[in-house]
Amino acid sequence: MATAGGLRARLSARPERALRGVSAGWALAATAFVVVSTLLGLALGPVDLGLGAVTREVLSHVPFLGLESSFSGTDDAILWELRAPRVALGLLVGAMLASAGAAYQGVFRNPLADPYLLGAAAGAGLGATIVIAYDPGGGLDLRPIAAFAGAIVGVGVAYLLGRSVGGSGTTTLILAGVTVAAFLTAVQTYVQQQNAETVQEVYSWILGQLETSGWSDVLILLPYVAFSSAVLLWHRRLLDVLAVGDDEAASLGVPVARVRLLVVGAATLGTAAAVAFSGLIAFVGIIVPHAVRLVAGTSYRVVLPLSLAFGGGFLVLMDLVARTVVAPAQLPIGVVTAFLGAPFFAVVLRSTRTVGP
């Protein structure tokens, strides 16, 4: 199929383009995708607010346009107090998971690396499970804090274990991550079995959800995502240099160990903050960066910024599906990302030639 290849040829025709980073065509496409996903996410749901009315309402807040909103008080509340925070959370979580996945794939030179590679998911899962099992219905929702702490501890232990084994190679670190994840998952399963009555709640957390308690969640998450993605973007060219291996990157003047520590640290911090609010949304960190690579180019100067944008928009659309297909009930968003994301990715994969980190 020529579609994806043709798109790639049109939007990033010459190699110099790739040397300069994201082309104007792709910047425009990414912006349009985010805007359209956001408007759809705001307009659609159990109550259809109307795409035109929502656009008008949003634009009425832009000064100098002189547009008047046609919204009633209820519509206004649904839009700004229910949907908008949820869409904003989706944008932040999706952007973070996709860019963290891209960064992990680059720093470990492993196409299957995802934001949970080093034990972040297992740690977050254990943290949330402990809270759900031993503090059900506590006044303060401790799940985000416990999940965040669990993810940081999981990756931290994996990193220290990898370092103590010695060797600066990526394989040692990945094996340490697998070891820590297996152990934490065993503990999590044990806690879950001991408290069988909370199994359903644990599962629905693990499969991911974008329920918010309003703008406060968004405001807590925002600085983490902003800081982490800034660090990742700052290293986007060095990730390209790491593609030739630790040794050659060092001979090209790159302080490999420091770059890896900063990139892994930033990606982990952002991922931990994201899973604290969203649960373990699978697959976004793998399919979004790879889809970007397949259609837009393999340089991290292209992959990282576009993964941020497309990851955010993608998760908003997936959340839209999750809360509308079985309305008024909701599907866990992790189920939707895998159910729709996997076939989509299969199509992208089939329509292109190669795949690599």
Q: Is the peptide bond before 223 cis (omega within 30 degrees of 0)?
A: no
Contact call for residue 301 and other proteins (CB under 8 A) = yes
| Residue 22 is a binding residue for other proteins (CB under 8 A) | no
Q: Per CB under 8 A, does 234 bind other proteins?
A: yes
Cβ atoms 280, 93 nearer than 8 A: no
Residue 20 Cα distances to 24, 191, 289, 299, 303, angstroms = 10, 51, 19, 10, 13
Q: Is residue 354 a contact partner of residue 290, using CB atoms and an 8 Å limit?
A: no
Nearer to other proteins, 20 or 163 (CB): 20
Nearer to other proteins, 52 or 255 (CB): 255
Applying CB under 8 A, does 222 fall inside the site for other proteins?
A: no
Size of the site for other proteins (CB under 8 A): 30
Give the interface segment with other proteins, choosing from 10-18, 74-82, 211-219, 268-276 (CB under 8 A): 10-18
What is the closest distance, in whole angstroms, from the C-beta atom of residue 19 to other proteins in the complex?
A: 6
139 is a site residue for other proteins (CB under 8 A): no
Report residue 193 as tokens.
Answer: 């079995």
Backbone angles phi, psi at 16, to 5 degrees: -60, -35
Q: Does 15 bind other proteins (CB under 8 A)?
A: yes
- Which listed range, 39-47, 208-216, 238-246, 341-349, lies at the site for other proteins (CB under 8 A)? 238-246
Tokens of 139: 């006044």
| Minimum distance from residue 60 beta carbon to other proteins (Å) | 39
Of positions 237, 324, 335, 349, contacts other proteins by CB under 8 A: 237
Q: With binding defined as CB under 8 A, does residue 253 bind other proteins?
A: yes
Measured from the CB atom, the residue of 74 and 164 that comes closer to other proteins is 164
**Minimum distance between the CB of residue 20 and other proteins, rounded to whole angstroms?**
8
Is the omega angle on the peptide bond into residue 328 within 30 degrees of 0, that is, cis?
A: yes
The number of CA neighbours under 13 Å toward the Cβ of 217 is 28
| Cα–Cα distance for residue pair 249/254, rounded to 1 Å | 6
Judged on CB neighbours under 10 Å (0-12, 13-18, 19+), 227 is middle
Q: Which of 16, 62, 66, 140 binds other proteins (CB under 8 A)?
A: 16
Of the candidates 31, 34, 27, 1, which has an alpha carbon nearest to the alpha carbon of residue 12?
A: 27
Candidate residues 4, 18, 95, 320; the one interacting with other proteins per rule CB under 8 A: 18
- Dihedrals phi, psi of 94, to nearest 5 degrees: -65, -45
Is 74 a binding residue for other proteins by CB under 8 A? The answer is no
207 vs 239, which CB is nearer to other proteins?
Answer: 239
Question: Contact at 8 Å (CB) between 56 and 69?
Answer: yes
Residue 319, interface with other proteins (CB under 8 A)? no
Q: Which helix (H) or strand (E) holds 24?
A: helix 24-43
Task: Please identify, among the stretches 81-89, 151-159, 203-211, 243-251, the one whose residues bind other proteins according to the rule CB under 8 A.
Answer: 243-251
Determine if 19 is a binding residue for other proteins (CB under 8 A). yes
- CA atoms of 269 and 100, how far apart (whole Å): 10
Residue 163 or 237: the one with the smaller Cβ distance to other proteins is 237
Which stretches of the chain bind other proteins, using CB under 8 A?
A: 14-16, 18-21, 234-235, 237-238, 240-241, 243-245, 247-248, 250-255, 293, 298-299, 301, 354, 356
